[in-house]
């Protein structure tokens, strides 16, 4: 049965991806096969294969091993092998012959081995366990290998000498992820402070001085969409939260990524990698969802994908569209409105790929997404003020974020070197309002009447980014990547805060930052032996931050403080060194030292004669970590663990100066140092074929160590936004032999999050709850159909995930707000793939 299943799988795939003429060319690559030990055995032998064409190298390998290998001439056309000399197992030898190419080995239990492209490998792996009915594969017999590009070249995740987690498209589907809050809960060392879609900061390893997105400083976590750094260098007031439908994978890199990814990745980086078109076959998918939140409005979603081979094996088009309506669940008691925090997400992607041969690839990607949130998700902090899902905000804290990305990517394989170019242009438009009603009334006695106070920030950002890099291919002992990067970001921001009871605006400002970044970067990995390798890398950057504030005035400022065009220049070098040691083939120990940074900026309203500096420089941190990545028990156990120590210096912090007229002027300066240290652990266990258990946990101490005089902060304070201890667990069970050719799965997830403080001031009322949350998901599969039901927040826990103080102390009005877990939500999804 298994023999027929594998043979039928290969026949089906090659019918779709090859013409009869191409398929007949397989006989050219056929030789004699010896035993299944090519993949599994540990027996070694001496190899001596000189550099040659890939076709000739594979033929020589087959002769020396007395083995049978199948490959198409087109697959290996123009491919070179650097040869092989030494003692290896057959599996190790074949992998080294294919190193640096997009070729992969596929095999079955009946001793048939094929050399295919990575695209064909995905096709085969997607079908290999489907059976006669082509059921979707949810069961893992062993831990699957995940390929990542965190080092700007494709590697097995377990071979990357850094703290890295990756979730594939299948992983996202299994957990029912629709946004960052869903998938980041699975990742150790990462905290997602849920304040609403597009408003929620991502904090990695405790590297943050605030727990909201509303800050002039660059974010400490970079968010990449393919090769584009998607966040503002100044005024990162909203976050990017891409729709997860039809995503290839998401990579979360913990620790600074200053070498390969540049500024803004002090704590780490999140990479969202879109699924690319395939010219091998027609594909389509439709996903429909409906959910019901307790005491809230219903939510719905519709996602669709269409992949069309325009020219067989050469030109393909992939079109993705999505829309989602999120029902609100917060009631506003002052405005007498229910379920005010509803939202809507719409968008799509268009991807065109041209691959005339195996050496050249050209791709065009157009992405658009808009996110609208009708009002904030703030609730009362204390029971005496109202219900857990009620609030009395004066203004609607809405946001409207729209982002369009245009990318042209090209790759050319020269045989021993690959050239990659990525050119991206993006436009990001944001309108956001904050609830300043209580603050307005406290200072100007305007009355707490909805609609009489208005606050809005408009953000218009245009970004151009170009990256060009060269990577080595096929060299046995030396792998390298070098590149250049250029970014230009033009930002137009305006702010207006008014009240109908006042003749003049409270604050009116126009802010015009203009940022350029230039960088040269590279990494070199030298393999000392089969067990030991050393990587050295670095990035030299040259940044310019220009800033002009033609309008900055209002009643709250007691005057006008425009800022003429000012400039802050900074350049430096951020290094990285890592050492990898393999105690066994699947037991990898590593140690890494790396540096990260974010850009310096200009202070608006600067008055150097009064001690307010014109600008402040970049802040940077050093990260020291040791880790282990391992696979055990014949591929049924995965255990990855990391210990880290971060030294953060010259932190960009707020300071205050009192002028001669007793006016207080706030500004930013490089004014403090902090330490973050901890451990991160990920583990997966497959005790038998149908059951999978997973856990991850983090222990993280992040504290402010010292500050300069005049900074109103206390050394020893906890850095905001991250708990000391957090944990995520799941149990997943798969059944593939249900009646009527059905398959089913069941997944129970749990997360434990300790208390975290929302402000670096560390006042007692700013700490969140410690809580546990459970999610349940179950589904049935039949051929290419899937239906799933789920319950999020199974126990309907209303725990407070963060607490904030709006900054005004009034006895007559609650000045505190909180954010809570979303109430129990029951949902249903239906998906079909063609």
44-48, 481-485, 711-715: least confidently modelled range: 44-48
pLDDT of residue 759: 87
pLDDT of residue 62: 78
Task: Report yes or no on 144 lying in a domain.
Answer: no
pLDDT of residue 347: 95
| Domain identity same for 282 and 237 | no
Number of CB atoms found within 10 A of residue 700's CB: 27
Task: Report yes or no on 744 lying in a domain.
Answer: yes
Q: Which CATH number goes with the domain that contains 423?
A: 2.40.170.20
For the chain, how many structural domains are there in total?
3
| Domain identity same for 188 and 278 | no
Task: Report yes or no on 148 lying in a domain.
Answer: no
Could you tell me which residues come within 8 angstroms of residue 342 by beta carbon, excluding any fewer than 6 positions away?
A: 297, 325, 326, 327, 328, 373, 374, 375
Helices 90-98 and 54-65 sit at what angle, rounded to 10 degrees? 170
Q: What is the C-alpha to C-alpha distance for residues 561 and 711, in angstroms, rounded to an integer?
A: 23
pLDDT of residue 133: 34
Phi then psi for 257, rounded to 5 degrees? -120, 40
| Domain identity same for 185 and 316 | no
Handedness of CA 581, 583, 588, 591 (dihedral sign): negative
**Are 805 and 816 spatial neighbours (Cβ–Cβ below 8 Å)?**
yes
Greater confidence (421 vs 759) lies with 421
438-452, 676-690, 708-722: least confidently modelled range: 438-452
pLDDT of residue 323: 96
Greater confidence (38 vs 702) lies with 702
Q: What is the C-alpha to C-alpha distance for residues 344 and 398, in angstroms, rounded to an integer?
A: 12
Q: What is the C-alpha to C-alpha distance for residues 544 and 259, in angstroms, rounded to an integer?
A: 18
**Are 553 and 520 spatial neighbours (Cβ–Cβ below 8 Å)?**
no
Flag whether pLDDT at 622 surpasses 60.
Answer: yes
Q: What is the C-alpha to C-alpha distance for residues 766 and 468, in angstroms, rounded to an integer?
A: 45
Domain boundary among 244, 268, 292: 268
Relative to beta strand 532-554, strand 563-584 is: antiparallel
| Domain identity same for 306 and 332 | yes
pLDDT average, residue stretch 713-719: 92
| Domain identity same for 249 and 311 | no
Q: Which CATH number goes with the domain that contains 172?
A: 2.170.130.10
pLDDT of residue 717: 93
Task: Report yes or no on 413 lying in a domain.
Answer: yes
Domain extent for 196: 155-268
What dihedral angle (degrees, nearest 10) is formed by the CA atoms of 654, 659, 664, 670?
A: 0
User: H or E stretch including 599?
Assistant: none
pLDDT of residue 126: 46
Cα 419–chain centre separation = 25
Tell me the DSSP string of 86-132.
EEEEHHHHHHHHHTTSSEEEEE-TTS-EEEEEHHHHHHHHHHTTTTT
Task: Report yes or no on 539 lying in a domain.
Answer: yes
Greater confidence (608 vs 352) lies with 352
Q: What is the C-alpha to C-alpha distance for residues 713 and 697, in angstroms, rounded to an integer?
A: 30
| Domain identity same for 547 and 653 | yes
Could you tell me which residues come within 8 angstroms of residue 408 by beta carbon, excluding any fewer than 6 positions away?
A: 362, 363, 364, 421, 422, 423, 424
| Domain identity same for 284 and 337 | yes
Handedness of CA 641, 643, 649, 655 (dihedral sign): positive
Task: Report yes or no on 149 lying in a domain.
Answer: no
pLDDT of residue 536: 96
Nearest to 131 by CA among 829, 779, 745, 738: 738
| Domain identity same for 195 and 329 | no
| Domain identity same for 122 and 175 | no
| Domain identity same for 200 and 296 | no
**Are 520 and 539 spatial neighbours (Cβ–Cβ below 8 Å)?**
yes
pLDDT of residue 18: 38
Would you place residue 723 in the very low, low, confident or very high pLDDT band (cuts 50, 70, 90)?
very high
Would you place residue 35 in the very low, low, confident or very high pLDDT band (cuts 50, 70, 90)?
very low
pLDDT of residue 715: 92
What dihedral angle (degrees, nearest 10) is formed by the CA atoms of 413, 419, 425, 431?
A: 100
Nearest to 523 by CA among 483, 467, 566, 468: 483
| Domain identity same for 120 and 231 | no
pLDDT of residue 503: 86
Flag whether pLDDT at 827 surpasses 80.
Answer: yes
Would you place residue 527 in the very low, low, confident or very high pLDDT band (cuts 50, 70, 90)?
very high
Q: What is the C-alpha to C-alpha distance for residues 346 and 348, in angstroms, rounded to an integer?
A: 7
pLDDT of residue 2: 35
Phi then psi for 292, rounded to 5 degrees? -135, 120
Q: Which CATH number goes with the domain that contains 117?
A: 3.55.50.30
Nearest to 268 by CA among 771, 698, 725: 698
Domain boundary among 237, 268, 299: 268
Flag whether pLDDT at 127 surpasses 60.
Answer: no
Q: What is the C-alpha to C-alpha distance for residues 700 and 698, in angstroms, rounded to an integer?
A: 6
Hey, is 659 helix, strand or coil? coil
Q: What is the C-alpha to C-alpha distance for residues 160 and 141, in angstroms, rounded to an integer?
A: 24
Hey, is 491 helix, strand or coil? strand
Mean pLDDT of the chain: 84
Cα of first residue to Cα of last residue in the chain, in angstroms, is 25
For the chain, counts of helices (H) and of strands (E): 10, 48
| Domain identity same for 500 and 615 | yes
Domain boundary among 240, 268, 296: 268
Task: Report yes or no on 138 lying in a domain.
Answer: no
**Are 52 and 81 spatial neighbours (Cβ–Cβ below 8 Å)?**
yes
Task: Report yes or no on 150 lying in a domain.
Answer: no
């Amino acid at each position: 049965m298994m023999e027929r299943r594998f043979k039928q799988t290969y026949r089906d795939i090659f019918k779709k991806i090859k013409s009869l003429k191409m398929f007949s060319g397989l006989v050219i690559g056929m030789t004699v096969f010896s035993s299944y030990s090519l993949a599994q055995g540990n027996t070694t032998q001496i190899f001596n294969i000189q550099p040659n064409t890939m076709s000739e190298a594979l033929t020589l390998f087959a002769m020396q091993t007395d083995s049978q290998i199948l490959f198409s001439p087109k697959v290996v056309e123009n491919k070179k092998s650097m040869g092989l000399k030494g003692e290896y197992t057959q599996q190790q030898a074949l992998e080294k012959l294919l190193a640096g190419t997009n070729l992969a080995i596929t095999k079955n239990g009946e001793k048939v081995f094929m050399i295919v492209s990575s695209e064909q490998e995905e096709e085969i792996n997607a079908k290999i366990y489907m059976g006669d009915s082509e059921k979707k594969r949810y069961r893992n017999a062993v831990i699957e290998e995940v390929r990542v590009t965190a080092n700007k070249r494709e590697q097995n995740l377990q071979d990357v000498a850094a703290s890295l987690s990756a979730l594939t498209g299948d992983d996202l589907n299994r957990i029912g992820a629709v946004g960052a809050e869903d998938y980041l809960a699975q990742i150790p060392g990462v905290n997602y402070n849920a304040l609403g879609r597009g408003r929620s900061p991502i904090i990695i390893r405790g590297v943050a001085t605030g727990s909201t997105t509303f800050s002039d400083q660059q974010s400490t976590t970079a968010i990449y969409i393919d090769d584009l750094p998607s966040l503002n260098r100044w005024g990162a007031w909203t976050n990017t939260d891409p729709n997860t439908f039809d995503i290839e994978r998401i990579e979360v890199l913990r620790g600074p990524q200053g070498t390969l990814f540049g500024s803004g990745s002090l704590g780490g980086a999140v990479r969202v990698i879109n699924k690319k078109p395939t010219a091998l076959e027609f594909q389509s998918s439709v996903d429909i969802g409906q959910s019901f939140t307790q005491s809230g409005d219903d939510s719905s979603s519709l996602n669709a994908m269409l992949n069309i081979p325009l020219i067989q094996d050469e030109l393909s088009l992939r079109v993705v569209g999505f829309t989602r309506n999120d029902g609100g669940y917060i009631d506003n008691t002052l405005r007498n409105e229910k379920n005010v925090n509803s939202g809507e997400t719409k968008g799509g992607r268009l991807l065109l790929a041209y691959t005339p041969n195996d050496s050249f690839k050209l791709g065009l990607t157009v992405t658009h997404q808009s996110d609208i949130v009708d009002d904030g998700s703030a609730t009362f902090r204390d029971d005496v003020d109202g219900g857990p899902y009620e609030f009395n905000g004066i203004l609607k804290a809405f946001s409207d974020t729209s982002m369009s990305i245009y990318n042209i990517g090209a790759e050319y394989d020269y045989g021993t070197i690959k050239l990659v170019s990525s050119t991206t242009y993006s436009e990001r438009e944001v309108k956001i309002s904050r609830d300043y009603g209580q603050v307005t009334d406290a200072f100007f006695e305007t009355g707490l009447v909805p609609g009489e106070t208005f606050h809005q920030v408009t953000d218009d950002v245009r970004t151009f980014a170009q990256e060009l890099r060269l990577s080595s291919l096929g060299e046995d002992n030396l792998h390298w990547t070098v590149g250049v990067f250029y970014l230009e970001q033009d930002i137009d921001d305006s702010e207006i805060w008014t009240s109908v009871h006042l003749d003049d605006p409270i604050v009116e400002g126009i802010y015009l930052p203009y940022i350029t970044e230039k960088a040269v970067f590279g990494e070199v990995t030298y393999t000392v032996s089969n067990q030991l390798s050393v990587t050295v890398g670095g990035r030299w950057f040259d940044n310019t931050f220009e800033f002009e504030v033609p309008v900055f005035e209002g009643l709250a400022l007691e005057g006008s403080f425009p800022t003429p065009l000012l400039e802050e220049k900074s350049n430096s070098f951020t290094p990285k060194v890592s050492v990898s040691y393999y105690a066994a083939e699947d037991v990898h120990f590593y140690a890494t030292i790396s540096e990260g940074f974010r850009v310096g900026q200009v202070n608006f309203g600067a008055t150097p004669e009064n001690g307010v500096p014109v600008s402040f420089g970049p802040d940077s941190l050093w990260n020291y970590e040791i880790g282990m990545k391992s696979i055990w028990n014949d591929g049924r156990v995965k255990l990855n663990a990391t210990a880290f120590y971060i030294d953060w210096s010259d932190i960009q912090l707020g300071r205050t100066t009192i002028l001669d007229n007793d006016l207080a002027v706030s500004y930013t300066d490089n004014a403090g140092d902090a330490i973050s240290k901890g451990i991160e652990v990920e583990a997966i266990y497959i005790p038998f074929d149908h059951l999978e258990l997973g856990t991850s946990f983090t222990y993280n101490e992040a504290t402010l160590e010292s500050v300069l005089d005049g900074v109103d902060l206390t050394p020893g304070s906890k850095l905001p936004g991250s708990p000391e201890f957090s944990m995520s667990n799941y149990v997943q069970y798969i059944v593939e032999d249900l009646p009527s050719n059905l398959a089913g799965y069941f997944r129970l997830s749990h997360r434990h999050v300790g208390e975290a403080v929302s402000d670096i001031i560390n006042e007692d009322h700013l700490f969140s709850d410690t809580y546990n949350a459970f999610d349940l998901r179950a589904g049935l599969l039949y051929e290419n159909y899937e239906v799933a039901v789920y319950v999020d927040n199974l126990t309907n826990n209303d725990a407070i995930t963060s607490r904030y103080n709006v900054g005004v102390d009034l006895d007559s009005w609650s000045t505190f707000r909180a954010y809570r877990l979303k109430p129990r939500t029951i949902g249903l999804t239906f998906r079909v793939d063609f």
